[in-house]
Structure formats: structure tokens, C-alpha cells
A and B are shown apart, each in its own frame.
Chain A
Amino acid sequence: MANLEIDFRGIKSPNPFWLASAPPANSAYQVQKAFEQGWGGAVWKTIGAPVLNVCNRYGTIDYKGQKIIGLNNVELISDRPIDLNLKEIAEVKRNFPNHAVVVSVMVESKKETWQETIKRAEETGCDGFELNFGCPHGMSERGMGSAMGQVPEYTCMVTEWVMEAATKPVIVKLTPNITDIVQPARAAVRGGATAISLINTINSIMGVDLDTFELRPNVGGKGGHGGYAGPAVKPIALHLLSAVASDPEVQKAGLAISGMGGIETWQDAVEFMLLGSTSVQVCTAVMHWGFRIVEDMIEGMSNWMDDKGFKSCNDFIGASLPRISNFGDFDLGFQSVAKINHDKCIQCNLCFIACNDAAHQCIDLKDAKLTKEANERLWPVVREVDCVGCALCSTVCPVDDCITMVQIDTGRPHTTWNEIMKSKPEVTQDWHKMEEYRKTANIHVH
């Protein structure tokens, strides 16, 4: 069995699976139960300023009969007194010395308050800190949470305050509610942070009730933006993770990254790790199914590593980072066309209607005489010369491996937009020149 232990810039953990700073990591009872069931670490629910919560706190999006594809919350940081939290953190760390216990902190924007809180927290014996610069609701209106993370200068300043006081690793947690997440990431680097975690939740309103016109979640007839999480946000999280993980300044500083946002399974976790996460954090999936899901996460990742021949997590963390590129550097000569395997096709003909209504009209329905049946139905057939290789048909096909995108050689030059910008700038500015270029490059757009 593969070794799942990680060293997160000094924070050791028996596996990369951590509870995110959220309701599942609210108390010693919960965190110890999670550790007993296999979780490698926990970022304690944020401690800090006094708060009062409201209800209802959660709203969800269900999809096609499946519950909670997305979950949003307007819950605040821990509403338990700070002394009680610190006492329990110390107790957990005593009972589980080999597990990662990270304390998430959010206090008002005063140097003394931050440094005093960090010092008090260090006395618990915790392994590190996470600075909550991401919470998008309730706290941000009080100048905390994402109000910090959205201004790189504040991010840098508070990080510096904390680094002066802390002897343990410090993780800066980033908000996705910003135009360019690389800016606060670089601010964390400048502030001297040990690591970065992302993403916090995304501003959202979950829905509107068609009978009452109330928003979801509904707080006594009113609603407002809350933090969106769960499987639906995973692609956004992967993008922001890749932007931060591939940033030269972040890479140069050697910051560790803890990734989160919609992780439910070991497969999700592996994807985050391939894009540069050393640890992964989970909340929504635990809120849905409880701590017990970690058993499959550990086993699934371990089996996958064995299959791939990876001995430790470091063998694959960041393995996909070299593939992160930009549109301008993509190969314009790469051409694929859709191939339909008619042995697998069940003739739902969704590929036909998708291509016809929403793509490039290059699939026909034909009486192809592929069977001996008298009433043979029409088959979708790709007109390959017209196929632009958009892949829509293969994405709507409900049968595994029925429509595949196959690379073909059209003799087009393997060049990029950026190269054309340099060598033939006129092509990028004049449609006539573009038409001429397409002719020479064997590119036909119908």
C-alpha cells in the first residue's frame, strides 16, 4: 500500500485529507471522531471575534434528483467562546499528536489583537495557523474575512503581523471573490506566509421560492449573499488553484498549497493534488454524508497510487502543472474529429440534435443499414470533412466510449496564436488576410 503521509511545509499529517475550517471542525467531539475515522488533519472552525448566528443558515442546489450539488451558507465563524475552543484544541492535539491540527483565525484588523490571538493559540500545541481572509458574508461587512483577502495590501500587512508572532507554519486562505486571485497570493508571499489555501466560498444566492418569492436560504423572510461550496464549484476551484500554483512568484517562494472546493471523492482529491495541492480540505461532502467517507478516500487514492506505481504523494503532487498553458500558446495544428462507434450507439441521437442545433451541423441521420432489422432506425453519421472537432457530440453522448474525438493529421502548421501574432500580425487584424492564411494553412470553416 502506498504511503499517504504528507509534510505540509512542516505540518505532518498521516494523509492529505483534512477537514476544512467549517461546521464539521467545530468542536473536540467532532474533530476527534473524524480523526478516529481516518481524517489526517483538521483546520478548526475559525476562532476570533464574538458573533451571533441566524437561521436558516444553509441553502442548496439539487440536480436531477441528486441532493446538494451545491451548498451555500450564511453561518459565521465559531460562535463558541474563544477560551472553550482553545481548551478543546489543546485536548485534541494531546490525544492525537500525529494528526494535523491547524487553527483558523479571524480577528479585527488590529496588530495587537492578531498577535495576541496567535500567541494564545500557539499555547494549545497546534501545528499551524490558517488566516481566514476568505469568509464572504457577515464577517466581511465588519472589515474581516474576504474584506482582507480582496485587498492585497491588507493581506500582506496582516500576514506580516502574524509572521512576527507565530513560530508555527502560517497558511493564508484566499477568497475566490476577486478578479485576479494571483494578486492576494503574491501578497501572502510578500507577507512571508508559509502556505496558501484555496478556495473559500463563492458569493451566491441559491434560489428563489416560486410560491413565496423568498430567497434561499431564507432568514425570516429576507436573504442575501452567502458562501457557495460543494461539487458545483470544483471546476472554479481547480482553475484558481492552477492560477496560483503555476504563478512564478508563488513557485519561487516554495509555498505549500492546501486545495479545496467541491472535493467529495479520492478522484477529486487526486485532481487537486495533480494541480499542486499538498493537502486537500473537505467540508460539504462531510456535511452531506458524515466523516465516514474518508475510508474510501484513503483506500481509493492508495489503490490508484499502487496502480500508477507512486510510492508517496510527492510522486504526483503538481504532475499536471507543466500542462497549464494559455489560449495563445495552444497548438492550432491539433485537429480532432468525432468518431461514432455504431456497435455501441443506442441511437438516442442526442449527438445529432446537439450538433445540429448548437454546433456546426456536421452529423446526419442516415438510413445506414447497419443491422438486418426491417424497421432499422436512423443512425447518426459524422461528416468528417465538416467536423470542426468541438467535441460537443461526445460530451452529450450517454454511452461510455461511443463517440471519441480522434486526432487526425490535416497537414496544418503546428503553430500558435502568439506565434502568428509575432510572425504575421496582419492575419490577426484583417479578415481578408485571415481568409488568405486559412487557405494556405488548410483551415476550412463552414
Chain B
Amino acid sequence: MAEHYKPNTYKAWEMTLEERFQEVYPPLAEREAVTEANRCLYCYDAPCMVACPTHIDIPTFIRKISTGNVKGSARTILESNLMGATCSRVCPVQELCEGACVLEHDHKPIMIGRLQRYAMDYATERNIKFFEKGKSNGLKVAVIGGGPAGLSCAGELCKMGFDVTVYEKKKWANGLSTYGIVVFREPVEVALAEAKMIQEMGVQIKTNVTIGKDITLDELVEQNDAVFISVGLGNVPDMSVPGENLAGVMDGLDFIEETKVEKLDSIKFGNRICVIGAGNTAIDCATIARRLGSERVNIIYRRSEAEMPAYHFEYEFALREGVSFMFLTLPVEIVGKDKVEGLKCVRMDLGEPDASGRRSPIPIPGSEFTIPCDMVVKAIGQKKQSQMMTALAKYDVKDIKGYIAVDFATNRTVHPKIFAGGDCIRSHGEASTVMAVQDGKIAAKAIYRQFIGELEDQTEHAKTGCCKEVAGAHAH
């Protein structure tokens, strides 16, 4: 009997641990994908394409799904975004392409993300190779950090004939796609397949290489024509409260990484967990804790619901997963003898807007209380890459609040050989995979222009056609 479509219901108590960590959205079946693709209006100067930071030609890839040219659809996506498989899963589409869809007004927007995933899965399952290294131009580029920005830059440069080597600190490439995106959003295999695609194009990826230990920045600058730095950000910073070193206090990114690379049943987790912070990483930590089987998960945030940095759809997802939120609550101490026994907090009130424009939280005197818990997960942001900043000082490369300063049109630093992209340059605004991918593309093109000359292909500016008026014809 045919497998019937099952609505997206999640009943943890009926599922095994492995089932709970399958992708939240099932893949679209062929007929489902074609039907959805046929809903697309195939807009002229489509706003989805403008809204996509990598300017994927969305109407074209969707039309190709509708005609059965899924291979061509995948090529269209990858031409603009080599990390199309990851982006199809992790992009905040409601904020980007789907949010811009003209059908958003009085219909449902097209499921652009899931259609993109359909085309990407098709190509991956069939091991279709779309790109190969361009005719060698004899120039060498080192990419430091093999996450989405680095792989994107490396892949684009390789297509244009550069010899590219990626230096990656970890065991596997593809950065947060491999280690930091919760597995029910993106399985590790998807991230690794993407890295493999870049490798098979002709990019050399060296893993387990730490800059400053195994090789220095100076050596790389010396030995290469250009260097692209995409080292991302570091671990979660200290909260500077007593008890932070107790057993049971964990870095949120480490917690997520365990669920990506370890056997699910070997992961230790508490029964009553406090997650500190209310960004997307905090939501990830809270929801994987619930899916692992934790009974009570509280997200502790010092500001209110209105100020929380997580995407709204992530907030709603966490609520559905049974995560509780405690707003206007500031942790002041992690209590416990040898291990975590509770989180001491103080109630907050909102005062005048601070530098970020958000109303600043002010502690209410005498309002301390303790939440009993056996695990505390910190998800209050990421440390800047201070070691890299120090190494770059020699080249006069400046920082903005700890992020590498670049010219955003080229992603070049003040040093002509040094470029940077990804989370390590995102000094303002939200960081995302798709922006990191675009950073890599921008740098690759700038490197080409700087060393070889003008690019032959159309600029994205013209492709998206968003800026100049188009007259039908001259009136007679």
C-alpha cells in the first residue's frame, strides 16, 4: 500500500530517539513538489530573487522543477549559491525569499525553501557533478576556515581557475552546517556532501589544521596570492557569575555539536534544564534538550518577549516543543555543591532604550529567587576571534567591535592580499549561512577582478533588475 502523506505531527512519546532527530520537515514527494512549483507565478523581476542574499534565480529553478528538469533546477541554484543544500534547510525563508513572495498577500507564499531542498536532494542522491576547476590561472589562494563562507569562496575561485587550499581547524569541514545546525534542521551528511562537492571540484581541504600552531597566518600570506579569512566566531563567552565552573554547566554550541557528531543515546543531559539567552542558538539548545528527553526546559532571558533576538518562527517552534520561557529574568549565580543544583535569578524591569535601541533591563532589588535545575546551558552569543585579530594587527587590519573590518563591496581588508567574510565580519545585523555564502562569492569575484580583470558574466545587479526603470518602448 502506498505511503500516505502524513501531516506534520510530532508525538515524542510515540517515537524513538532516532526518529525524534529526523528532519522536522519531510522531503517533498515528486508530485507534491511539482504541484507546488506549478503554483509559482514565474514573476518577472521576481522579488524573491532580490530578497535572497545570494540572488538565486528562484523563478527559474522552480519552473525547472515543474517541467521535470530537476537537474537543471539544481544547477541554477548552485550557480548562485554553492551551499544551496544547507541554505534550503536553514535559511530564514519567512524573512527572505518567501517573505517577499507576491503570493504572500492573499495566498500562501510558495514553499521556496522546501522546493530548493527537493532539487538539491535530487542532485545529491544522484551524485551529479555540475562544476569543475576552471583553466588554471596559476594563482594561489588560502582560505582560513572551512565553513560556508570559506567553502563558497573556495568553490567560486576554483571555478575561475585558482588553486585553492582550505585550512580547517576541526575534523570535518563546513563549519556550523556540520557542527552547529541542529540535526533535525540539517543532518550532518548534507553538510559533508556539500564539502565533498567543493573538494571534488578541485579545492584542497586540509582539516585538523590550527592556524598559529600547525601553520601561521604569516606563512599563508607569504605563500599565497590572496588569503580569505572565514574563521567564524568562537565559543560562548563567560557569564561572569559565581558557579560557572560547576559540573552541569555547558556551552550551548558544544551541546549542539554533541547531538550532531555523537551517538544520540550517549549524550548526557539534565532533567531540568535552564538555557540562558533567547537567540536562535538558545532555541536550538532548548529544543534538542526536549527531544533528547529532558522533562523541563526553561529559557531564561533578561529582556522581554518583544526584544528576543530569535526568529519568531523559532520561538513558535520552541513553544510547540514544550519549552518554557522566563522573560525579564537575569541569572546571577549558579548554585550547587559539586554540580548544578539551581539557578539563582533576579527579576528585571524595562527602562530606557539602550545603545541597541531596545529597552534596557534593570534588576528589581530584592526579587532574587532560585530555579531548581540540574543543567545550565549558556547561549548568550559567541566570543570574537581575538587570536586572529592579534595576528592580523601586523597587516594593519582593523576591527569593529572585535569583528574584522572589510570593505563590504569587495570584502577586502585594508591589506590588498587579505579578504574576509562570514560571521567574523558581521559587526552589525544578523549573521546567517546565506550571507556567509554571499560573502565568499563577493570576495572571490573581487579577487578575480583584482588579479585577473573584469568578469565576463553579468553582474548580479543587472540580473536582479531591481534598480532601474524599464520602459516598454519609446513612444512614437
Report A's interface with B, CB cutoff 8 A: 64-65, 346-350, 352-353, 355-356, 361-367, 377-378, 383, 385-386, 398, 446
Q: Report B11-39 CB contacts with A as 1/0, cut-off 8 Å.
A: 00000000000000000000100110010
Q: Which 3 A-B pairs have the closest CB atoms?
A: A361-B473, A65-B35, A353-B44
Find chain A residues with CB under 8 A from B46 CB. Answer: 348
Q: Report B443-476 CB contacts with A as 1/0, cut-off 8 Å.
A: 0000000000000000000000010011111011
Q: Please state if B102 and A346 are interface contacts (CB–CB under 8 Å).
A: yes
Complex Cα distance, B332 from A401, in Å, reads: 61
Q: Please state if A378 and B470 are interface contacts (CB–CB under 8 Å).
A: yes
| Interface: B200 (CB within 8 A) | no
Min CB distance, A236 to chain B, in Å?
25
Q: Report B261-294 CB contacts with A as 1/0, cut-off 8 Å.
A: 0000000000000000000000000000000000
Find chain A residues with CB under 8 A from B31 CB. Answer: 65
User: Apart from A352-B44, A365-B470, A446-B473, what are 9 other A-B pairs with CB-CB below 8 Å?
Assistant: A346-B102, A348-B46, A350-B42, A362-B473, A365-B471, A367-B469, A378-B469, A385-B475, A446-B475
Q: Please state if A365 and B469 are interface contacts (CB–CB under 8 Å).
A: yes
Find chain A residues with CB under 8 A from B43 CB. Answer: 347-350
| Interface: B41 (CB within 8 A) | yes
Find chain B residues with CB under 8 A from A365 CB. Answer: 45, 469-471
Q: Please state if B472 and A352 are interface contacts (CB–CB under 8 Å).
A: yes
Find chain B residues with CB under 8 A from A353 CB. Answer: 44
Q: Please state if A364 and B469 are interface contacts (CB–CB under 8 Å).
A: yes
Min CB distance, A169 to chain B, in Å?
46
Complex Cα distance, B473 from A31, in Å, reads: 60
Q: Tell me which of B38, B44, B470 has the highest count of chain A C-beta atoms within 10 A of its own C-beta.
A: B44
Complex Cα distance, B475 from A385, in Å, reads: 9
Count of inter-chain pairs, beta carbons less than 8 A: 67
Q: Please state if B475 and A386 are interface contacts (CB–CB under 8 Å).
A: yes
Complex Cα distance, B237 from A193, in Å, reads: 94
Q: Can you pick out 5 interface pairs between chain A and chain B where the beta carbons lie within 8 Å of each other? A: A348-B41, A377-B466, A378-B469, A383-B472, A383-B475
Size of the B side of the interface (Cβ < 8 Å), in residues, is: 25
Min CB distance, B341 to chain A, in Å?
52
Complex Cα distance, B50 from A65, in Å, reads: 28
Complex Cα distance, B35 from A50, in Å, reads: 44
Measured CB to CB, the nearest residue on chain B to A368 is B469
Q: Which of B41, B105, B466 contacts A350 (CB 8 A)?
A: B41
Complex Cα distance, B476 from A383, in Å, reads: 11
Q: Please state if B44 and A350 are interface contacts (CB–CB under 8 Å).
A: yes
Q: Please state if B44 and A65 are interface contacts (CB–CB under 8 Å).
A: no
Contact flag A348-B476 (CB < 8 Å), given A65-B38, A364-B471, A365-B470: no
Find chain B residues with CB under 8 A from A446 CB. Answer: 473, 475-476
Q: Please state if A356 and B47 are interface contacts (CB–CB under 8 Å).
A: no
Measured CB to CB, the nearest residue on chain B to A63 is B38
Min CB distance, A409 to chain B, in Å?
21
Restricting to B278-314, which residues have a CB under 8 Å from any CB of A?
A: none
Find chain B residues with CB under 8 A from A65 CB. Answer: 31, 34-35, 38
Find chain A residues with CB under 8 A from B471 CB. Answer: 364-365
Q: Please state if B472 and A364 are interface contacts (CB–CB under 8 Å).
A: yes
Find chain A residues with CB under 8 A from B469 CB. Answer: 364-367, 378
Q: Please state if B47 and A377 are interface contacts (CB–CB under 8 Å).
A: yes
Complex Cα distance, B46 from A353, in Å, reads: 12
| Interface: B116 (CB within 8 A) | no
Contact flag A363-B472 (CB < 8 Å), given A65-B35, A65-B38, A346-B105: yes
Min CB distance, A444 to chain B, in Å?
8
Complex Cα distance, B44 from A356, in Å, reads: 11
| Interface: B215 (CB within 8 A) | no
Q: Please state if B472 and A64 are interface contacts (CB–CB under 8 Å).
A: no
| Interface: B103 (CB within 8 A) | yes
Q: Please state if B475 and A347 are interface contacts (CB–CB under 8 Å).
A: no
Q: Tell me which of A346, A347, A363, A398 has the highest count of chain B C-beta atoms within 10 A of its own C-beta.
A: A346
Complex Cα distance, B308 from A108, in Å, reads: 84
Complex Cα distance, B133 from A249, in Å, reads: 76
Min CB distance, A335 to chain B, in Å?
18
Find chain A residues with CB under 8 A from B174 CB. Answer: none
Find chain A residues with CB under 8 A from B329 CB. Answer: none
Complex Cα distance, B106 from A363, in Å, reads: 24
Find chain B residues with CB under 8 A from A356 CB. Answer: 470, 472-473
Complex Cα distance, B455 from A146, in Å, reads: 64
Find chain A residues with CB under 8 A from B473 CB. Answer: 356, 361-362, 386, 446
Q: Which of B38, B45, B472 contacts A355 (CB 8 A)?
A: B472
| Interface: B66 (CB within 8 A) | yes
Q: Please state if A349 and B472 are interface contacts (CB–CB under 8 Å).
A: no
Measured CB to CB, the nearest residue on chain A to B472 is A361
Q: Please state if B66 and A64 are interface contacts (CB–CB under 8 Å).
A: yes
Find chain A residues with CB under 8 A from B44 CB. Answer: 348-350, 352-353
Find chain B residues with CB under 8 A from A367 CB. Answer: 469
Q: Please state if B45 and A64 are interface contacts (CB–CB under 8 Å).
A: no
Min CB distance, B25 to chain A, in Å?
20
Complex Cα distance, B472 from A47, in Å, reads: 60
Min CB distance, A170 to chain B, in Å?
46
Complex Cα distance, B472 from A356, in Å, reads: 6
Complex Cα distance, B41 from A348, in Å, reads: 7
Measured CB to CB, the nearest residue on chain A to B476 is A446
Complex Cα distance, B102 from A398, in Å, reads: 11
Complex Cα distance, B323 from A384, in Å, reads: 58
Q: Tell me which of A65, A347, A348, A398 has the highest count of chain B C-beta atoms within 10 A of its own C-beta.
A: A348
Find chain B residues with CB under 8 A from A362 CB. Answer: 472-473
Find chain B residues with CB under 8 A from A352 CB. Answer: 44, 470, 472
Q: Please state if A347 and B470 are interface contacts (CB–CB under 8 Å).
A: no
Complex Cα distance, B464 from A377, in Å, reads: 12
Find chain B residues with CB under 8 A from A347 CB. Answer: 43, 47, 102
Find chain B residues with CB under 8 A from A349 CB. Answer: 43-45
Complex Cα distance, B476 from A65, in Å, reads: 43
Find chain B residues with CB under 8 A from A364 CB. Answer: 469-472
Q: Please state if A64 and B41 are interface contacts (CB–CB under 8 Å).
A: no
Complex Cα distance, B96 from A199, in Å, reads: 51
Q: Please state if A348 and B102 are interface contacts (CB–CB under 8 Å).
A: yes
Min CB distance, A370 to chain B, in Å?
14
Find chain A residues with CB under 8 A from B38 CB. Answer: 64-65
Min CB distance, B42 to chain A, in Å?
7
Complex Cα distance, B47 from A341, in Å, reads: 20
Measured CB to CB, the nearest residue on chain A to B32 is A65
Contact flag A346-B103 (CB < 8 Å), given A352-B470, A377-B466: yes
Q: Report B335-376 CB contacts with A as 1/0, cut-off 8 Å.
A: 000000000000000000000000000000000000000000
Complex Cα distance, B47 from A308, in Å, reads: 43
Complex Cα distance, B41 from A446, in Å, reads: 30
Find chain A residues with CB under 8 A from B45 CB. Answer: 349, 365, 377-378
Min CB distance, B50 to chain A, in Å?
8
Measured CB to CB, the nearest residue on chain A to B66 is A64
Min CB distance, B176 to chain A, in Å?
29
Contact flag A398-B475 (CB < 8 Å), given A64-B66, A65-B31, A378-B469: no
Complex Cα distance, B476 from A355, in Å, reads: 16
Min CB distance, B51 to chain A, in Å?
10
Complex Cα distance, B46 from A355, in Å, reads: 17
Find chain B residues with CB under 8 A from A346 CB. Answer: 102-103, 105-106
Q: Tell me which of A65, A352, A364, A385 has the highest count of chain B C-beta atoms within 10 A of its own C-beta.
A: A65
Q: Report B100-137 CB contacts with A as 1/0, cut-off 8 Å.
A: 00110110000000000000000000000000000000
Complex Cα distance, B472 from A378, in Å, reads: 13
Find chain B residues with CB under 8 A from A385 CB. Answer: 475
